[in-house]
Chain A
Amino acid sequence: MTEAPDPRSSEPLAGCEGCGSGGSDTSRRAFLGTAVAAVAGALVGCGNDHVEDFLQHNFRELSKAEVEEMIARLEREYKAQFGREVHVGHEPPLPGVIFGYALDLSRCIGCRRCVHACVQENNQSRDPQIQWIRVLQLDKEEGVDLRHADQYYDPPEVPEEGHFYMPVQCQQCKKPPCVKACPVGATWREKDGIVVVDYNWCIGCRYCMAACPYGARHFNWGEPHLPAEELNPDTHLLGNRPRPKGVVEKCTFCIQRTRKGRYPACVEICPTGSRKFGNLLDPKSEIRYVLENKRVFKFKEDLNTQPNFFYFYGV
């Protein structure tokens, strides 16, 4: 990792020099930076970190050096916030990979272990509570009919008679309506199919939440509260790093795991093996086997979002 600039030094603001990309962006930002820096610095009072945070641009416009600086800054912030070392990775998409996910509705018993494993793995706020996966209890007689859906079921044992269960999380659509809707381009689809959010660019307008047909995007309505001992320190910049107040977050197929070759947390914890994950471009993967040998369907497929998340009935 590159040396983090000493926040107490009087170095010129990062983002104004050494930009490898976006020539005109550089001059614009340089102007903006110098013009606003004085005001911002005076207003904010202390810490280049705050000013850099304020002036930082969309992740897709940052140069490599700026990304490194951003990460160093974030790791400093997290260290101060949690009192622990937090690693913020920024692994790029693996070449030749598009992630696919399949969920076996005949085997899901609605135990919600996936929900809580996800919360632990992805550093979601415990209070106010945020959960990226919602498990719907549906009626067997009605099929997948949301008019008969209940996510607050709490019987002593699952599965309950006459019901089946359907967990819903971000479907990582090929044509994501949320990406279309975002006015500032804070969310986009990466090459490996994962739809990510730049938490430092999101303005919290929640248009993407209105646009998502799956209710998969969640908002930090209040200051997220995550006890330091429950923090997962192995994070990704666009994934499970602790989020600030006022931004949107959602399932990223455990980008911090999957880009290193591991299964997402929900896949690993499922006791009935209902969740299958892999590379859609690999003909020998489990996900391709499911697509070819089981009959899959897409949730709300009439909306043409073309999700990379498939539901099937294994038995």
Chain B
Amino acid sequence: MDILRNLASFLADSVRLVFRGNRAYRIWVAVLLVLMAAGGLAYANQLRHGLIATHMRDQVSWGFYIGNFTFLVGVAAAAIMLVIPAYVYDWEPIKEITILGEMLAIAALVMCLGFVMVDIGRPDRFWHIMPLVGRLNWPQSMLAWDVLVLNAYLLLNWFVVTYLLYCAYTGRHYIKKLVLPLVLLSIPMAVSIHTVTAYLYNGLAARPFWNSAILAPKFLASAFCSGPAILLILLQILRKTTPLRIKDEAIFKVAELMAYTMGFNLFLTAAEAFKEFYSNTEHVVFSQYLYFGLKGHTALVPYAWASVACGLAAFLLFLIPKTRTNWVTLNLGCVLIYSSVYIEKGMGLIIPGLTPDALGEIYEYRPSTTEVFVAAGIFATGFLVFTIMLKAAVPIMLGQHTMGKGRPAPPEPLDPAI
């Protein structure tokens, strides 16, 4: 009963925290809500007419939604970039902030699920994919695996975050024997979600662009080099807006690790390009379409080269210690790598895989207005989830908001910047 009462109090106080905030916070939330409303309207239109409201057709049957999904799985997996040094190498400066990485993973997974829901043709039949209740074609279907591992990872992160915050709220120490194994488990789980997502594409012999053994390593490399970029920017924001103390060296260490993964990612890209263009089999048409255009269709070419250029520039900025430790260039590098991987995982993966299609036809896919609005709505939802979690979590983490001895402590005057 005690636990239930504490939990109820924990939830109630968290909700209270979320609804209190300064002007900037309210404006931010308002913007997100507007975007969500716009996305909701666009989705209603899509529900009414069907997926014909998008620009996906038989020839390119996956597009913007699945591209975003793939990218966000990478972001979710990247949380472990903080976990590894913090817990495996027991590096104190990062330890407190791994929880932020896990919250980011939760928000990213919420968005992933959102994108899957808006992409399927029969959302009313969503229950068909649930094990036991529906019929899950496991272990044959990679999508079935993906359903399982993504939800397991989400549950894991959600549990760890909730438990840690609950402990901080009730003022007691978390049980290390419970938390540590789970956190360490999240490392192979994060690897698994992105490997399974890569296998989704990798396993399709029908799509030679995807049917390459390098796909799973490439996914992991690009996830690890781009996911933490969001975290780095976030940490800087949190440092300025909350009493949260984050050491410079924590940020720079993460940036250094990212540099190595960026280098590896570039190497894998080069390896892929070599195989395609040097061996020059019929399968080169997909890479050709992406980087050089095919039969006059060149819509993706500027994006492809922008992705390469941004990735290269970000790598150099992160590699050279001088630019890595300069806040301007560091943040520029974050934006660059984020853009580079967003293109690489989105339009640089899905569309060339399906263009030309199985019978050699080229249909140039571009997202429709509906797709853009729905995607914006889902991104806004994810951002809102993350914001809400942060809004409740940060004060609790800082010990500013605790339960005290069975009574909710009067909230400390919070930093007006929040």
> A residues bordering B, Cβ < 8 Å?
28, 32, 54, 57-58, 61, 128, 134, 136, 145-149, 151, 168, 177, 179-186, 201-207, 209-215, 217-223, 245-248, 303-305
Contact = CB atoms under 8 A, between A and B. Distances in A.
Contacts of B206: 177, 210-214, 303
27 contacts: A57-B135, A136-B360, A147-B282, A151-B361, A168-B359, A177-B206, A180-B140, A181-B141, A183-B137, A184-B137, A185-B137, A186-B128, A203-B129, A205-B120, A205-B143, A206-B121, A210-B61, A211-B206, A212-B358, A213-B206, A213-B358, A215-B58, A221-B50, A222-B50, A222-B51, A246-B122, A303-B206
B143 A246 contact: no
Contacts of B20: none
Contacts of A168: 359
B358 A183 contact: no
B61 A146 contact: no
B61 A147 contact: no
Contact of B356 (A134, A146, A201, A213): A146
B2 interface: no
Contact of B121 (A28, A146, A180, A205): A205
Nearest to A244: B122
B178 interface: no
Interface of B: 49-52, 54, 56-59, 61-62, 116, 119-122, 124-126, 128-129, 132-137, 140-144, 147, 200, 203-207, 282, 285, 353-354, 356-361
B141 A182 contact: yes
Contacts of B285: 147
A34 to B, nearest CB: 14
Among B54, B129, B141, B354: residue with most chain A CB under 10 A:
B141
B135 A203 contact: no
Given A181-B142, A184-B135, A303 B205 contact: yes
B101 to A, nearest CB: 29
Nearest to A188: B137
A184 B137 CA distance: 5
> Of B61, B144, B282, B360, which is in contact with the most chain A CB atoms at under 10 Å from its CB?
B61
Instruction: Name the 7 nearest CB pairs between A and B, nearest first.
Output: A204-B121, A246-B121, A146-B360, A222-B52, A213-B206, A183-B143, A215-B358
Contact of B125 (A61, A203, A211): A203
A186 B125 CA distance: 12
Contacts of A305: 205
Contacts of A214: 206, 358-359
A203 B122 contact: yes
A209 B359 contact: no
B50 A54 contact: no
A259 to B, nearest CB: 25
A198 to B, nearest CB: 10
Contacts of B124: 54
Nearest to A213: B206
Contact of A61 (B57, B135, B204): B135
Contacts of B50: 220-223, 245-246
Contact of A201 (B125, B141, B142): B125
